[in-house]
Amino acid sequence: MTLQAFETLVLIGLNDLLLKVDLPIFSPKSHAADPRQSDSESCSHMSSVSVRFFIITDDSEIFRVSINKFERLLKCSDEEKIERFAGQRVRVAEIGVRLENRKPIEVIRAIYYYLHFNEKGILDEDSLIKSRNIVSTAGISSIFIEKEQGNVINAQQEFAKRQRDHAVWWKPNMQLERNILDASIDEFKCKRL
């Protein structure tokens, strides 16, 4: 992943990452270590983290997008476009999962946000920049915002938080969220883009 793409992803979810999710870590099975295993047996598996991207249609159909394709989309160029979503605002789910031996075992983070595509099906760069700026402003500490001046209160951060919560982030209903989380650990079949 390029540094620019990584910065984009970080800024979309900047601050309140886990607060926005409103759900505990999702794990379909208990993965407690077996007390009968020796230390060498319990450490024989490889554990890592992966990010899964999903685009959700207006009909709540879930499409998985590979990391490489998503990275190309973030370049906002003709290199990668999805004509199916031309001229639309789509819902995206960015799900962090823990892997053991290359298999997803639990969700460790979930962020839901919108992306806008232009009439050619290319990610709208202006919209992406605007969303990043809103999230950044909403998450800036009050020490960086101008202080009160007399009877005037600077509510920039509060307005940005409201705008972020309505224009940048979205919240799935319980069934859709369950399907997305299950898809992220390969327990719900969805199509790939």
Instruction: Provide the domain count of the chain.
Output: 1
The string of pLDDT tens digits covering residues 15-63 is 333 333 333 444 554 444 444 444 444 445 677 899 999 999 999 999 9
In-domain check, residue 149:
no
Collapsing DSSP states into helix, strand and coil, what is residue 170?
A: coil
- Report d(CA 142, CA 160) in Å as an integer: 13
Structural domain for 35, as ranges: 3-124+171-192
Asked if the structure places residue 24 within a domain, the reply is yes
Q: Are 113 and 131 in contact (CB under 8 A)?
A: yes
**Cα–Cα distance between 23 and 93 in angstroms, integer?**
14
Q: What is the pLDDT of residues 119-164, one digit of tens each?
A: 999 999 999 889 888 888 787 555 445 555 666 656 777 888 888 8
Q: Is residue 79 situated within a structural domain?
A: yes
Q: What is the pLDDT of residue 165?
A: 81
Residue 159 lies in a domain: no
- Residue 133 inside a domain? The answer is no
C-alpha–C-alpha distance, residues 147 and 2, integer Å: 37
pTM higher than 0.85: no
Is 158 within a domain? Answer: no
Residue 151 placed within a domain: no
Examine residue 9 and state whether it is found in any structural domain, yes or no. Answer: yes
